[in-house]
């Protein structure tokens, strides 16, 4: 029977003016959503454009994705030659997402536009980025909701159900971030440090209309990665994330190993482990094939919240990809006509 999960979900939504975005978008593989984590990472790659995306199913089962608790995210960012200094560059990007939960598919979706300016610093750069988002909140299948008064009286209608069916909120979100990318030593190890702040404008979030609901506190994201070239074949990539909002904190540690399998075809095999401390274990595996990168992750909640965060009991699955392309201008030299004398 699905009455109890529905009832539990409706109890959580008893006050429809309460924020529905208490938990911001979360992924085990933020490398496939870099701009979401920090707008300073817009254009932070070698190439002209980058297309990346990730799909997360929080209620996956051994047979695959279920779609009840899903978050798809897709973004593209592009580098431009416009700059105020030599070797600087500018980047623009746009991303789309749709985060949904449960049978009624309650959640939010929208777009986020970002821009960054990269200051060249030796062999690295310091990027300053900003991001603006327009986000809507609603339920895709409100007719599947069952409230307590409906269960108690056997009625098919409910004042709360009407609010849910008619309710649709929206808000605008503003973020900013800094990212430092720098090579280390003669072996060219790559260090990346960043800090970003989401909800700078502290938007009011609720399902009953624009400006209604509770104000979101600022979300601070700090992250660090080091690509360490252990030898000609093997790289180690430790990473660290720290996120805090109001009294809530999240710390994630990860380490990936990247093995150069075929140098001519540019194939690298990647695998690693991670941990969201006190909450979940993470397992990642994937590969690079030239300009394409694909990876899958499995996240298993541990501790007292495993039943609540993993509705299927199996855990969360993610699949991510990215493609980095380059647009080169073909030379168009002016023709020279040689007219020998006769």
Say yes or no to pLDDT of 208 above 50: yes
**Cβ(302)–Cβ(280) under 8 Å?**
yes
Q: What is the pLDDT of residue 129?
A: 98
How far is 296 from 286, CA to CA, in rounded Å?
6
Say yes or no to pLDDT of 13 above 50: no
* Number of domains observed in the structure of the chain: 1
Q: What is the pLDDT of residue 145?
A: 58
Q: Which range, of 51-60, 82-91, 325-334, averages the lowest pLDDT?
A: 325-334
User: Is 331 part of any domain?
Assistant: no
Q: What is the pLDDT of residue 263?
A: 94
CATH number at residue 69: 2.40.160.40
Q: What is the pLDDT of residue 233?
A: 95
Overall average pLDDT of the 242-271 stretch: 95
Q: Which range, of 180-189, 228-237, 273-282, 308-317, averages the lowest pLDDT?
A: 308-317
Say yes or no to pLDDT of 223 above 70: yes
For residues 209 and 20, the model is more confident at 209
How far is 240 from 285, CA to CA, in rounded Å?
18
User: Is 284 part of any domain?
Assistant: yes
User: Is 339 part of any domain?
Assistant: no
Q: What is the pLDDT of residue 61?
A: 64
Q: What is the pLDDT of residue 40?
A: 97
Q: What is the pLDDT of residue 107?
A: 77
Q: What is the pLDDT of residue 189?
A: 93
Which residues are CB-neighbours of 333 under 8 A, at least 6 positions away?
Answer: none
User: Is 137 part of any domain?
Assistant: yes
Supply the mean pLDDT for the chain.
Answer: 82
Taking only the tens place, the pLDDT of each residue in 84-108 is 999 999 999 999 999 887 766 677 8
**Other residues' Cβ atoms within 10 Å of the Cβ of residue 248:** 12
User: Is 267 part of any domain?
Assistant: yes
User: Is 340 part of any domain?
Assistant: no
Q: What is the pLDDT of residue 336?
A: 62
Output the furthest CA–CA distance in the chain (Å, rounded).
Answer: 108
Overall average pLDDT of the 25-37 stretch: 93
> What's the Cα-to-Cα distance from 29 to each of 53, 275, 284, rounded to whole Å?
10, 12, 8
Which residues are CB-neighbours of 156 under 8 A, at least 6 positions away?
Answer: 150
How far is 253 from 274, CA to CA, in rounded Å?
6
Overall average pLDDT of the 227-237 stretch: 95
Taking only the tens place, the pLDDT of each residue in 117-157 is 999 998 899 999 999 999 988 776 655 555 545 555 555 55
User: Is 337 part of any domain?
Assistant: no
Strands (DSSP E) found in the chain: 49-57, 69-80, 89-101, 106-121, 124-139, 169-184, 189-198, 204-205, 214-215, 219-229, 234-245, 248-262, 267-276, 280-289, 292-301, 316-325
Q: 310 pLDDT band (50/70/90 cuts)?
A: low
Q: What is the pLDDT of residue 12?
A: 37
Question: Residue 308 is inside which H or E element, if any?
Answer: helix 306-309
How far is 146 from 7, CA to CA, in rounded Å?
6
For residues 67 and 123, the model is more confident at 123
Q: What is the pLDDT of residue 2?
A: 42
What tokens were used for 87? 């070797």
How far is 280 from 258, CA to CA, in rounded Å?
23
Taking only the tens place, the pLDDT of each residue in 108-125 is 889 999 999 999 998 899
For residues 162 and 231, the model is more confident at 231
Overall average pLDDT of the 173-189 stretch: 92
Q: What is the pLDDT of residue 20?
A: 39
Say yes or no to pLDDT of 21 above 80: no
What tokens were used for 116? 């960054």
Q: Which range, of 95-99, 210-214, 235-239, averages the lowest pLDDT?
A: 210-214
φ and ψ of 140, to 5 deg: -75, -35
User: Is 332 part of any domain?
Assistant: no
Domain housing 21:
3-325
* % residues pLDDT > 70 (the chain): 72
């Amino acid at each position: 029977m699905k009455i109890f999960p529905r009832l539990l979900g409706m109890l959580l939504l008893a006050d429809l003016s309460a924020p529905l975005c208490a938990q911001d978008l979360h992924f085990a593989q933020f490398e496939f959503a870099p701009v979401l984590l920090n707008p300073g990472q817009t254009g932070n790659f070698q190439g002209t454009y980058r297309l990346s995306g990730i799909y997360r199913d929080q209620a996956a089962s051994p047979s695959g994705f279920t779609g009840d608790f899903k978050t798809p995210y897709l973004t593209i960012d592009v580098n431009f030659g416009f700059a105020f200094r030599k070797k600087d560059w500018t980047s623009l990007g746009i991303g789309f997402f749709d985060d949904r939960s449960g049978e009624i598919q309650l959640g939010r979706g929208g777009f986020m536009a970002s821009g960054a300016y990269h200051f060249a610093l030796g062999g690295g750069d310091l990027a300053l980025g900003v991001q603006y988002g327009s986000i809507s909140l609603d339920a895709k299948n409100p007719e599947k909701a069952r409230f307590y008064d409906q269960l108690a009286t056997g009625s098919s209608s409910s004042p709360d159900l009407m609010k849910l069916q008619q309710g649709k909120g929206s808000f605008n979100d503003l973020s900013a971030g800094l990212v430092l990318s720098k090579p280390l030593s003669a072996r060219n190890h790559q260090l990346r440090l960043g800090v970003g702040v989401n909800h700078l404008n502290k938007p009011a979030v609720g399902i009953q209309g624009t400006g209604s609901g509770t104000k979101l506190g600022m979300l601070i994201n700090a992250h660090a990665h080091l690509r360490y070239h252990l030898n000609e074949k093997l790289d180690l990539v430790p990473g660290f994330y720290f996120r805090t909002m109001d009294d809530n904190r999240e710390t994630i540690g990860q380490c990936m190993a990247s093995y150069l399998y075929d140098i001519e075809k540019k194939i690298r095999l990647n695998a690693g482990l991670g941990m969201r401390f006190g909450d979940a274990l993470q397992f990642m595996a994937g590969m690079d094939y030239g300009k394409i990168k694909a990876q899958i992750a499995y996240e298993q909640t541990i501790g007292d919240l495993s039943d609540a965060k993993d509705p299927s009991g199996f855990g969360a699955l993610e699949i991510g990809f990215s493609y980095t392309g380059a647009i080169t201008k073909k030379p168009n030299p002016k023709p020279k006509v040689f007219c020998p004398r006769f």
